[in-house]
Structure 1
Amino acid sequence: MYRYFSGRPVLSDALPSYSGEYAVGTVDIEVPAEHPRRFSDAVLKETGRPAFEMETVMFSLFYPSVRGAKSAKPKHMWIPESNKLFGEGYARFAGFSNSFTNKLFESGLWTLVGSTTIPAEVDVPLEGATGTGAHSEIKEQAVMDTHQEHQFPVIVFSHGMASGRTSYTHYLAELASRGYIVAAVEHRDGSGPGSIVMRADGSSKQVFHAPRESLEPMLEVEELKTVQLALRQAEVEETVTVLRALQNGRGQEIYQANTRKEGIGLGDWHGRLDIERFIMAGHSYGATLAMQALKDAPNDARPFVAGIALDPGKSSGRLNDDIDVPLLVIHSQSWSAKHSIFYDRTHFDTVESAVQDIITKRKKAAWFITAKGTTHPTVTDAPLIEPTLLSWTTGATVGAKEGIMHYVDASRDFLSYMMDGQKRGILEEPVSHPEYNNQIRPLPKEFSKIWQVHVSPAS
């Protein structure tokens, strides 16, 4: 009753604060695409409009912010657009969208998630900002405590099916609190529940889940995946373009073009992004995209020097194995344990082979590990918001906060390796399980309850 009358979610928990050395800020950016285009002739039967086109690029930034800076703006909602939009989106995923079911899903979302907000402060200065101009209200002492010349490595993150840019905020913001700038891309490829494209002229359109049956002509399964991945990759490349513009001193220009009306301090980002250390990352469908985006990388369009793939998709199309940069693949236990046939071989063997080839053929460091006790949603915010429900429905045996921190710790160690070449934590360990649950050597006690190591460069 207290939660209900205070306007809080009735059956969910608040997202926790972040544990790194930095405070975390967030900004939503949506700007016109530099190269707008269509990726298929298919249209939506419902509207007759193109089903796969890129007009704008949209992403949420999570970044190290000035400690103690407080925003006058309200926190971002975890459901970023509206319960109504997402209610209809999830009804479409369920295959029965009408006025009654849309309202039913909307009500369910309010009951389970409601007014859940993201803890990061909105539109506060990047750590080390001068505090002049737009952010002159920031206390002088807070500015003095920062390190203006420091550059932050950059991560571009791609979300999975039935997800969006806010589905992984805790994992991404934990990395931001450890000194990384993270751009969480909002994909408009028909894989998410719902998104609003906001154009520069003030008009907008809604983008919902687009299964094959909703298209005219109806695409074949593999063709649909190819089109969606092409659109996703283009959105990633457009995100890189915007991030380079911030690095090159065009932050105020980006702010003026941003239809989300945030980023007042982006002019202070000039020279603060370490664009020599772009990392590509993703989960599920996004992990498939991450591996695809690493083909021929680093290059001008995709300057990624490494990748992180979390549960690469089992139904997202073929996995690219032409990778010539370091790669960390983390499987949830549910992903490794399930025997899945994937293009005439097991999915596990496909991933293992791709990672091993990076070591043996490309002579680069790569890892393939399984996080014990976890399930496919563990790295998302969902178990943090609904720990009891998600534990019951998915079978996860590790606590929600503990599970996601395992991903954070391994990712941090990999990212640190990319900075200084030093292997830390689980990345120091040789192979313990060449196949899932097939142990050939024990891990140290601090790791044995958490990890299985399937591929490692350690001898």
Structure 2
Amino acid sequence: MSLPARITGTKSNEDGRRNSVIGARKIPNAKKPKSRPPIGLRNKVGFLHHALPNYSGPYSVGAMDIEVPAENPRVFSHISRRGYHLLKLETVLMTIYYPAAFGSGAGRDPSGSKKWSRETWLPRPRFKTAKAYGKFAGIGNMAVPLFAATTMLTKIPAFRNPPPASHWPPPNNYRHGGAEVKNQEGQPPPGESEEPVFPLMIFSHGLGGTRTAYSSLCGEFASYGFVVCALEHRDGSGPRTYVNHAKEGLGTMEERESKGHIDHDEKQRKRKYDEIDYIFPKRNPKDTSPLNEKGVDRELRDAQTQLRLAEIEEAYNVLYQIRQGNGGAVMKHNLRRKGHIGASSRGLDGVNWSAWKDRFHYKRVTIAGHSFGAATTVEVLRNADRFKYVEQGIIYDIWGAVIKPPTDEPRHRISAPLLGINSEAFMYWPSNFNAVMSLMEEALSQGAPTWLCTVRGTVHVSQSDFSILYPRICSLFLKMTANPNRALDLNISASLEFLKDVMRGNGGGKAMIERSMTNEALLNTEILEDLPTEHRPDDKWIAARLKIPHEFRSRVIPQVVRKIKRKGNRGQYNPGDEIWMHVRTEAEHVKAWREKRGSGIGDRDRKKEYENASVSEEKGESY
């Protein structure tokens, strides 16, 4: 059954471009970014390097790095280089961001050290990772001094391995209540347990991404009460990742080869780890370009997607074990510890695994991703029979070229609530925007609440840490006009509003969001009838940058006007000043959808599916 929604009307030229009578010269009444005081001297000495902002939610944030052998190691596709398979699943690597307990960052850390530890934003080994970024970006070793002068010292504002929070936050957040809210406790909402059980989110990165490249987005969700599993895909979509191997027993090269028909070359055998760089498709290295006449390398991208789906399943099994109180077994096999490449000396030392038992939900998961990760999210949602524990999805600036047409079987179409958030740069890419719209229509046709919006003045990297760490580059070369911190606010606020509307109450995570979010009513923005074109770049820059006809008028004047309005408190703010809405499910239909779901229609089958989910209670040697 189709769920009524308003969808943007568009006009098309013969060349497929969309025209509009609406001008988009500037962002007239954008709000000021949320305040995030720096943590320590490292963040304050900004002239030495760039710093990441602190998180705006009421919780302090913790982080754990975990790499463990996959339960089902195997190869994907026959694609090879130098006679060895490229796409193989041996271990699964993730950073878990989560709400941290009172006292995180004060006194001794959980391992007994005098100083609390934080993960570096650029994954270790940093110089090698910087070189890999240079190769990916086409600038070679020039990337090393670039990173060394800017982000080589940057740390993520989340402490390693603190206990998870066991308190409800106050009905406030960092923006309105200041830093003290992170040390205040609130009363449990009506109908909720004395201690909170946090909602779970799984995040999939895009091309050129890592598990830390979206730390601001993932950490923001954690500060509002989510346990967020940020995967690092080993499919050749990141600049470089390292696959460790155990020295004995489960996870050794020999054990992986015997169990999963996996092969290793002599260099890998000698150094005891795999080094996986970005895979450029043969004879079509720029298959991501909108101007590429050959299109995407379908064989490679489909195989990468299947590997990503398997990694999500593996990560979910690890999360399930942690939630069941079996974290000690996970720690036993963790390969991100001293003596392994890419690891810190802390590893998982000091983690109180008993505190994790029943600490987060595992049946009502949110799946989210950016770019290629958003396309991965779509595949998860289309395979609801395989990912029975996923209930809703968020796609940030999806790469539409890798999306397959929907099947004729309704069970393999998107039937879960869906939120799409575009960058303005990607909105001007006609074929990509059409692909996104087709996904919205697919979800609507299955009766799912659906929204699609665009954050004005943003580019493709605006939903990652890159726009925050390199704002001048994004402004000068990509013509980003949105404040990168405010762009992050808008993405988080719209996402929290979506989740508040579609998540379940009384144990589903809804109460956690309602407790402390700032509702900016972004999803109530009026529908944009036609797509604007004023910032549409020339074809050679399509999707890569924006066009700024008048730099001074588009940058300086709006900033002055905003300051005057804030000072005089005379601003007539409208969400449409900062975002454009293309698809919106009306409130009465969202309410009807919730009532239908809550009435028990379909719940019996869903409950049975949950009970039959492919997660075993006892993992033995495979934890």
Give TM-score, length-normalised by structure 1. Answer: 0.84
1:55-87 C-alpha deviation (Å, 9 max, x unpaired): 000010000001222234421000112232223
Following superposition, the deviation at residue 201 of structure 1 comes to 2.3
Match of 2:274 among 199, 202, 205: 205
- RMSD (Å), alpha carbons: 2.9
Match of 1:362 among 446, 451, 467: 446
Kept in 1, the 8 Å contact 2:525–2:580? The answer is no
Aligned partner of 1:193 in structure 2 is 239
Kept in 2, the 8 Å contact 1:60–1:184? The answer is yes
Match of 2:463 among 376, 379, 384: 379
Kept in 2, the 8 Å contact 1:58–1:186? The answer is yes
- Residues 356 and 87 (structure 1), Cα distance of their counterparts in 2 relative to 1, 3 Å cut: same
Following superposition, the deviation at residue 296 of structure 1 comes to 2.9
Kept in 2, the 8 Å contact 1:65–1:124? The answer is yes
Task: Determine whether 1:429 maps to 2:524.
Answer: yes
Aligned partner of 1:80 in structure 2 is 123
Aligned partner of 1:43 in structure 2 is 80
Kept in 1, the 8 Å contact 2:101–2:166? The answer is yes
Superposed, which structure 2 residues align to 1:368-447 within 5 Å?
Answer: 368-420=452-504, 425-426=520-521, 428-429=523-524, 432-437=527-532, 445-447=573-575
Kept in 1, the 8 Å contact 2:493–2:522? The answer is no
Greater strand share, structure number: 1
Match of 2:334 among 254, 258, 269: 258
| Whole-angstrom distance in 2 between the partners of 1:109 and 1:428 | 37
Aligned partner of 1:441 in structure 2 is none
Q: Using CA pairs under 8 Å that are at least 6 residues apart, name the structure with larger relative contact order, 1 or 2.
A: 2
- Residues 65 and 146 (structure 1), Cα distance of their counterparts in 2 relative to 1, 3 Å cut: farther
| Whole-angstrom distance in 2 between the partners of 1:113 and 1:390 | 15
Task: Determine whether 1:332 maps to 2:417.
Answer: no
Aligned partner of 2:609 in structure 1 is none
| Whole-angstrom distance in 1 between the partners of 2:185 and 2:458 | 42
| Whole-angstrom distance in 1 between the partners of 2:581 and 2:185 | 44
| Whole-angstrom distance in 2 between the partners of 1:41 and 1:289 | 21
Q: How many residues align?
A: 420
1:304-355 C-alpha deviation (Å, 9 max, x unpaired): 100000011044343658201000000011111233xxxxxx3212211321
Q: Percent identity?
A: 29
Letter in 2 for 1:39: F
Kept in 2, the 8 Å contact 1:59–1:165? The answer is yes
Letter in 2 for 1:87: A
| Whole-angstrom distance in 2 between the partners of 1:435 and 1:288 | 25
Task: Determine whether 1:22 maps to 2:98.
Answer: no
Following superposition, the deviation at residue 417 of structure 1 comes to 1.8
Aligned partner of 1:151 in structure 2 is 197
Match of 1:69 among 104, 116, 122: 104
Match of 1:244 among 320, 337, 342: 320
Aligned partner of 2:584 in structure 1 is 456
Task: Determine whether 1:284 maps to 2:379.
Answer: no
Aligned partner of 1:269 in structure 2 is 356
What SS does structure 1 have at the residue aligned with 2:460? coil
Letter in 1 for 2:440: V
- Residues 185 and 353 (structure 1), Cα distance of their counterparts in 2 relative to 1, 3 Å cut: same
Following superposition, the deviation at residue 366 of structure 1 comes to 0.8
Kept in 2, the 8 Å contact 1:308–1:327? The answer is yes
1:199-241 C-alpha deviation (Å, 9 max, x unpaired): 22273221111112399xxxx8110110111111111111111
Following superposition, the deviation at residue 420 of structure 1 comes to 4.7
Kept in 2, the 8 Å contact 1:233–1:293? The answer is yes
What are structure 2's unaligned runs of at least 5 residues?
1-41, 110-114, 168-182, 189-193, 249-271, 285-295, 338-346, 408-412, 534-571, 588-623
| Whole-angstrom distance in 1 between the partners of 2:440 and 2:584 | 9
Following superposition, the deviation at residue 94 of structure 1 comes to 4.4
Following superposition, the deviation at residue 283 of structure 1 comes to 0.2
Following superposition, the deviation at residue 357 of structure 1 comes to 3.1
What SS does structure 2 have at the residue aligned with 1:273? coil
Letter in 2 for 1:325: A
Kept in 2, the 8 Å contact 1:83–1:106? The answer is no
| Whole-angstrom distance in 1 between the partners of 2:497 and 2:44 | 39
| Whole-angstrom distance in 2 between the partners of 1:353 and 1:120 | 38
Following superposition, the deviation at residue 9 of structure 1 comes to 7.3
Kept in 1, the 8 Å contact 2:55–2:219? The answer is yes
Kept in 2, the 8 Å contact 1:287–1:313? The answer is yes
Moved more, 421-430 or 301-310: 421-430
| Whole-angstrom distance in 1 between the partners of 2:117 and 2:283 | 37
| Whole-angstrom distance in 1 between the partners of 2:495 and 2:326 | 30
Kept in 2, the 8 Å contact 1:366–1:456? The answer is yes
Letter in 2 for 1:18: Y
Kept in 1, the 8 Å contact 2:522–2:575? The answer is no
Superposed, which structure 2 residues align to 1:291-370 within 5 Å?
Answer: 291-297=378-384, 299=385, 301=387, 303-318=389-404, 322-339=413-430, 346-359=431-444, 361-370=445-454
- Residues 348 and 32 (structure 1), Cα distance of their counterparts in 2 relative to 1, 3 Å cut: same
Aligned partner of 2:269 in structure 1 is none
Following superposition, the deviation at residue 406 of structure 1 comes to 0.5
Aligned partner of 1:343 in structure 2 is none
What SS does structure 1 have at the residue aligned with 2:328? helix
Aligned partner of 1:139 in structure 2 is none
- Residues 87 and 152 (structure 1), Cα distance of their counterparts in 2 relative to 1, 3 Å cut: same
User: In terms of Rg, which structure is larger?
Assistant: 2
| Whole-angstrom distance in 1 between the partners of 2:301 and 2:213 | 21
Following superposition, the deviation at residue 108 of structure 1 comes to 2.3
| Whole-angstrom distance in 2 between the partners of 1:143 and 1:370 | 35
Letter in 2 for 1:313: W
Aligned partner of 2:164 in structure 1 is 126
Letter in 2 for 1:17: N
Kept in 2, the 8 Å contact 1:367–1:427? The answer is no
Letter in 1 for 2:77: S
Following superposition, the deviation at residue 391 of structure 1 comes to 1.5
Letter in 2 for 1:417: D
Following superposition, the deviation at residue 375 of structure 1 comes to 1.1
1:103-136 C-alpha deviation (Å, 9 max, x unpaired): x33222212312111010111110019xxxxxxx
| Whole-angstrom distance in 1 between the partners of 2:134 and 2:370 | 23
| Whole-angstrom distance in 1 between the partners of 2:434 and 2:362 | 34
What SS does structure 1 have at the residue aligned with 2:462? coil
Following superposition, the deviation at residue 416 of structure 1 comes to 1.7
Task: Determine whether 1:223 maps to 2:223.
Answer: no
- Residues 143 and 128 (structure 1), Cα distance of their counterparts in 2 relative to 1, 3 Å cut: farther
Following superposition, the deviation at residue 17 of structure 1 comes to 0.8
Letter in 2 for 1:404: L
Kept in 2, the 8 Å contact 1:18–1:177? The answer is yes
What SS does structure 2 have at the residue aligned with 1:404? helix
Moved more, 270-279 or 118-127: 270-279
What SS does structure 1 have at the residue aligned with 2:313? helix
| Whole-angstrom distance in 2 between the partners of 1:286 and 1:154 | 17
Give TM-score, length-normalised by structure 2. Answer: 0.63
| Whole-angstrom distance in 1 between the partners of 2:283 and 2:121 | 28
